[in-house]
Structure 1
Amino acid sequence: MAQMGRPRGFDRDAAVKQAMHLFWERGYESTSLNDLKAGIGGGISSPSLYAAFGSKEGLFHEAVELYLATHGQVMECLWDASLSPREAIEQSLRRSARMQSERGHPRGCMIALGAMGACSPEHADTDKPVKAARERNEAGLLACVRRGIAQGDFPAELDAQATAMALYGFLLGMSTMARDGASRAMLEGAVSRMMDLLGPALK
């Protein structure tokens, strides 16, 4: 007997993007298999979904990879050595604010929102790529603050760890504000105020 295959004209890249939007909007556990089957390619069967992606978890991991390679790139300026630490931090926050409030995809940040809808213990491994991305962003902010203190961009007495945690908490909080309808102007205004709290540029 012939096995049931994927629909004719199945676009795998488009399917991953559609799944990314579903997971971004609802979270991993709240996105059911039926949601995925209905939302991918105008409708896909369970055998076809498993044939293409292996499992719901496999599809989720591909969706996270796509997010990090596209929308998640807003944070990459934290590792841009051509920018001053202050510039790198401000650009990352402003780019994130714009991305989280723009049209064409769910509002907020898929990685930050994942912290609020973390997987249950039995699915802890599923959440590892999302957690790793959050930890990388937090480490990037800390590295920028430390570099800024060392280079005289920030006051020498600034507590690097506490400052990085405050910036990271603000970054996570923007996702909730964006999801609740905050406009780009509102988010960017909050970024300006956050940068003011770091003190004036010393260079």
Structure 2
Amino acid sequence: MTASRWIVLQTEQTHPLGCLVILSANTCSPENNHIREILTLERATTRRKFYTCIERAIQTGEIREGTNVAMLTTLFVTFLEGISTEARDGVPLDSINAAITKLMELWDSCA
């Protein structure tokens, strides 16, 4: 699934808004901590994939060597997770897409 389709799915009114992996972790009752742990692992997988993607971009010259991989990973993961809350709160897709465009300007500035 492309990133843009993933964002559209989070904002469509035909199903629950936001992302289950992000939003449900905060609503687990203590007896469902095992679910919270599964979701934590899923988010860690996403974080690792961002980290790997950024490292690969440095290796291929897409972004400059010396880029702070950990910081950029945290920025993108935090942004991605925040989109779920924004979608749940009904922020329009156009506004989210504009924010994504602005964030990607940061990526471009690392070139």
Greater fraction of residues in helix: 2
CA RMSD of aligned residues (A): 1.8
Deviant stretches of 4+, over 6 Å:
none
Deviation at 1:178, TM superposition (A): 0.7
TM-score by length of 2: 0.87
Deviation at 1:127, TM superposition (A): 2.2
Share of identical aligned residues, percent? 24
Q: How far apart in 2 are the matches of 1:169 and 1:201?
A: 18
Q: Which amino acid aligns with 1:178?
A: A
TM-score by length of 1: 0.50
Which runs of 5 or more structure 1 residues have no equivalent in the other structure? Answer: 1-73, 75-90
Kindly tell me: are residues 198 and 119 of structure 1, through their superposed partners in 2, closer, same or farther at Cα, counting changes over 3 Å?
farther
Q: How far apart in 1 are the matches of 2:28 and 2:63?
A: 34
The answer to whether the aligner puts 1:151 opposite 2:60 as a matched pair is yes
The answer to whether the aligner puts 1:97 opposite 2:97 as a matched pair is no
Q: Equivalent residue for 1:164?
A: 73
| Larger gyration radius, structure 1 or structure 2 | 1
Q: Which amino acid aligns with 1:166?
A: L
Q: Equivalent residue for 2:84?
A: 175
The answer to whether the aligner puts 1:112 opposite 2:36 as a matched pair is no
Between 1 and 2, higher relative CO (CA 8 Å, sep ≥ 6) is seen in 2
Q: Which amino acid aligns with 1:151?
A: T
Q: How many residues align?
A: 111
